[in-house]
Amino acid sequence: MPKTKVILSAISVCLAVAFCYLLTGYIRQDTLQKRLDTQITQSRQTLASLPVPDSGLSQLYEESHQTNQDVKQSLAARTDSTTDVIDRLLQNAEALEVQIEPIIGGDYEEKTVGKSEYRFQPIELTITGSLDDILAFLQVVENPDLYPNVVVNHLSLNQTQLPDNTQETRITGSLALSVVSGSSDSP
């Protein structure tokens, strides 16, 4: 029997060691679970206190992105030379009975629009005519189908009374434009 007592004692000791090992593993897992539950609760509270994003932001982004793409497309769609633009300006001015006097150009500027480089060639001209004719001329100049790569930068108008005792007035103005073209460095 003593052999049986030794075996039973050994089994009892092994079972006690196994029970202690399993109990400490359970206690560690329980502590870890409580800590994780606390972190989850804190994270939920933090998320609940954050402001709700505006549901229209993605739509605004899409509209803005589409507008940006449209601008890029219109700038790159058709690039007329400065000479072509000036010829068309002179023809349209003559057809609308507007006189264009000195056409002054300056050095071009390179500007970045989005990720592309563009050249802006400034043109300044003096326009003279009746108010209705000048307004009609400006509508033509601002038409993107006729002038897709022309941007109106500045316009100033002055009114003068004609000397012959009539009610007719003459409008003289300064019009600053830019002819936009893609740079050779554009991607």
Q: How do residues 61-97 score in pLDDT, each as one tens digit? A: 888 878 877 766 655 555 677 888 888 889 999 998 9
The topology under which CATH files domain 79-182 is Alpha-Beta Plaits (3.30.70)
Q: What is the pLDDT of residue 41?
A: 92
Mean pLDDT on 167-179: 84
User: Is residue 185 scored above 50 in pLDDT?
Assistant: no
Q: What is the pLDDT of residue 49?
A: 84
Rounded distance, CA 23 to CA 15, Å? Answer: 12
Rounded distance, CA 122 to CA 174, Å? Answer: 13
Mean pLDDT of the residues in the chain: 82
| pLDDT tier for residue 162 given thresholds of 50, 70 and 90 | low
| pLDDT tier for residue 57 given thresholds of 50, 70 and 90 | confident
User: What distances in angstroms separate CA 133 from CA 6, 48, 92, 127, 128, one per listed residue?
Assistant: 120, 62, 11, 10, 9
Closest to 122 in 3D by CA, of 88, 94, 74, 82? 82
Q: 95 or 170: which carries more pLDDT confidence?
A: 95
User: Is residue 56 scored above 80 in pLDDT?
Assistant: no
User: Is residue 174 scored above 50 in pLDDT?
Assistant: yes
Rounded distance, CA 27 to CA 45, Å? Answer: 27
Residue 168, SS3 per DSSP: coil
User: Considering just the CA atoms, what is the radius of gyration of the chain in Å?
Assistant: 40
Mean pLDDT on 112-137: 86
Percent of the chain surpassing pLDDT 70? 87
Mean pLDDT on 23-45: 90
Q: What is the pLDDT of residue 144?
A: 83
Residues forming beta bridges with residue 129, ordered by sequence position: 171
Rounded distance, CA 61 to CA 67, Å? Answer: 10
